[in-house]
Structures are given as structure tokens and as C-alpha cells.
Amino acid sequence: MTVIRNIKTINILVTHKCNLKCQHCYDVKNGSEMSSEVLDLTNDYVCNYIKENSGKEFHIQYIGGEVGFYNQQKIIDSINYIKEHCPNENLQFMSQSNLVYELTDDHKKLFEVLDCVGSSYDYELRITQPKQKVLFFNNLKYIQSIGKSVNVVFTLTNPFIKHLTPQLFWDFIIASDIHNVGLNGFVATTEVAKLLLPKAEDVREWCYQTFLLYEQLKKYYDINVEEFERNIDSFYGKQEYIHSRTCILDNLTIHPNGDVATCIFKYDKPIYNLVTKEQKMDINEVFKEEQEYNDLCKSCKYLKYCNGNCHIFPFDETGCLTPYKIYDYLQEKEDLKNQLVNGIIQ
């Protein structure tokens, strides 16, 4: 299933430096950062990419490591350069940060020019000390106070889904005045990290119960959970959000050394290098690899909704994290509505 999406995501990985040591981080943690020379090459490459795909919606994200540890003025200059050279395009700029550091004037200047700030708050993992918690919430409140959108991403680890029940989760969201939420799968990068890996059935149940509350809550509270909205859209046939297995065609990631890859998790399979001009891999070969479904996927009735989902985040031995219960629930609702319309139920 080839899916044509309107959104193109461009990740500019400016630094591997970080103040946290998360077991589940996708970053390679080698401490390097993008030089001014590579950033200049990146700016030009991004502008050319945008012009080649003109008319799309471009989400340009500055990521790390910890973006807050990189030269903030360089990021501001990068944003201004791209805006200047692509004046008629639909561009949205954001940075991804853990927000666990003291804000400087340079940090605040960057926030002013961003459309959105992405952050992460993982139960018992990223933010474990009282000082870290205070820093996070103070910084969150500051960004909210200047009218910027904040998207807080939660990684679905075993401690998270066991201790933060759906009801407690929503209490936390409302009390923190958070309005945009992301839910991430979990990658166990070490043997120790595997202890944090939840079972697929537990994740599905947590997501299902959280989704039921979400349906009710959004009637009264301005809230958006990207994954839930994608579940709804894919159920009703909105192909743009059935992005897995084809998403590499709409994702671009540029690393500090100039490597150009697709998904941020494909750092070990770059397709090109901006510095050496070396063509390292054929994008069609990468795409072909992504399209290889296993037998379980081929025979699954949910394939039409998830397109095989992302095989990078296997929760258990099946390698599947499709939210079956949400799709079954939506089908039951649709069946009931049709019965009412057709007069089967009086």
C-alpha cells in the first residue's frame, strides 16, 4: 500500500550531546554536534528538498541529543535562511527538547521564532530528581505563557502504563495545561532496558482505555493526541495517516556529520552525505526493505488500517503494536450507527 501524504517531515539533528542518559533514546550518544559548515550545507539541502516537493506542508524539526545544548543563534539563523529562500511554502518549525535545564535569553529567543516546542516527559525515566521536575514544569509554563504550542511526548514503557493509569494520565494532562500529546513506542537498546519493555497486550489495553476517556474529554477540553487522531482517520480511510511502511518517503533526517537518512531511527543506513557527496544507499532499496510484510501482517484484518505499522517498535515477539481494541471499538460504533440509520434498532 503506497500512501501519498501531504506532510513532509525534515529532522535536523544538530547535536548528540545531552544532559540525560535515557535507556530508550534513539540517539547514538557520541557527543558530537553539527558544525557551522555542515549546517550551511544542510540549509541549502533542505531548501532544495522543499522546492523539489513544493506545495506540501513541511514540518522542520531541530532535534538532538538535547537541542538546548546547541548554539541557539545558529538554529535561529537556520530558520531565517530557510524562510528567506522558501518564501511561498507552508513551513512549520519546531525543536525537540527535554526542557530539563535553566533557560537563557538565547533559549527564549529561539522559542519566540518556533511554531511549536516538542518535549518529552517519561514516568520514572527521564525526569527522576526534584530539581529536574521543577525545571521541566517551569520551562513548560514559560513556553505556554508566550503563546507557543507545546507537544509533550510520552514513551509507553512498562513503568509508565503500570503506574500512570488512563485516569491519572488525563488528570496529569489537564493539571499541566497540556493540549498536544504524542505517544511513542519503546525501543530497548540494552539488556537492562528490556526490563522496561511492556507487553503488546498491556499497551493495547492502556491505549484503549485512554482512548475511551479521550473521546469524552475532548468534548470539554482542547486536546489532541496525534496517534489517536491517526487511528480515527485511518479507520475512516484517510490514507495520509496510514503512514507506516511508506513513511520513509516523507521523512528526511540530517545528522551532525552530514549523513542524510530517512527516519531518525535509520541513522545506521544513510543514503547520502552532504560533505563527501557520497551516495551511500539507493532510496528505492530502503523503501523495498520497508515494504516487506511478514505472514502475520499479510493475513491480518487490521492491515487496511495500520499498513503494517512501524516494525522498529516491536512490543513483543509478534512485532506488532497495532491498537486492535481501538479499531474494534470504532467498528462497533459504526455498526451501531448504521443499524440506527437503517431502522434495525428502534
Q: Report which listed range, 125-134, 153-162, 291-300, is most confident.
A: 153-162
Cα-Cα-Cα-Cα dihedral sign, residues 83, 89, 90, 96 = negative
Listed in sequence order, the residues at least 6 apart from 217 whose beta carbon sits closer than 8 Å to its beta carbon are 170, 223
pLDDT tens sequence across 69-126: 999 999 999 999 999 999 999 999 999 999 999 999 999 999 999 999 999 887 776 7
pLDDT band at residue 317 using 50, 70 and 90 as cut-offs? low
Euclidean distance between CA atoms 325 and 333, whole angstroms: 12
- Give the residue with greater pLDDT, 340 vs 242: 340
Distances in Å between the Cα of 280 and the Cα atoms of 62, 185, 260 are: 23, 28, 9
pLDDT band at residue 240 using 50, 70 and 90 as cut-offs? low
Is the per-residue pLDDT at 2 higher than 60? Answer: no
Share the mean pLDDT of the chain: 87
Is the per-residue pLDDT at 239 higher than 90? Answer: no
Residue at grid coordinates 527521564: 126
Asked if residues 257 and 237 have their Cβ atoms less than 8 Å apart, the reply is no
| % of the chain with per-residue pLDDT over 90 | 53
Main-chain phi, psi angles of 90, to 5 degrees:
-85, 95
- Give the residue with greater pLDDT, 195 vs 19: 19
What are the residue boundaries of the structural domains of the chain, listed by start? 7-290
Asked if residues 72 and 78 have their Cβ atoms less than 8 Å apart, the reply is no
- Give the residue with greater pLDDT, 27 vs 8: 8
Write down the pLDDT at residue 269. 82
Euclidean distance between CA atoms 259 and 34, whole angstroms: 11
| % of the chain with per-residue pLDDT over 70 | 90
Listed in sequence order, the residues at least 6 apart from 270 whose beta carbon sits closer than 8 Å to its beta carbon are 255, 259, 260, 261, 280, 281
pLDDT band at residue 201 using 50, 70 and 90 as cut-offs? confident
The answer regarding whether domain 7-290 maps to CATH 1.20.910.10 reads no
Write down the pLDDT at residue 87. 95
pLDDT band at residue 318 using 50, 70 and 90 as cut-offs? low
pLDDT tens sequence across 175-184: 999 999 999 8
Is the per-residue pLDDT at 202 higher than 60? Answer: yes
Is the per-residue pLDDT at 11 higher than 90? Answer: yes
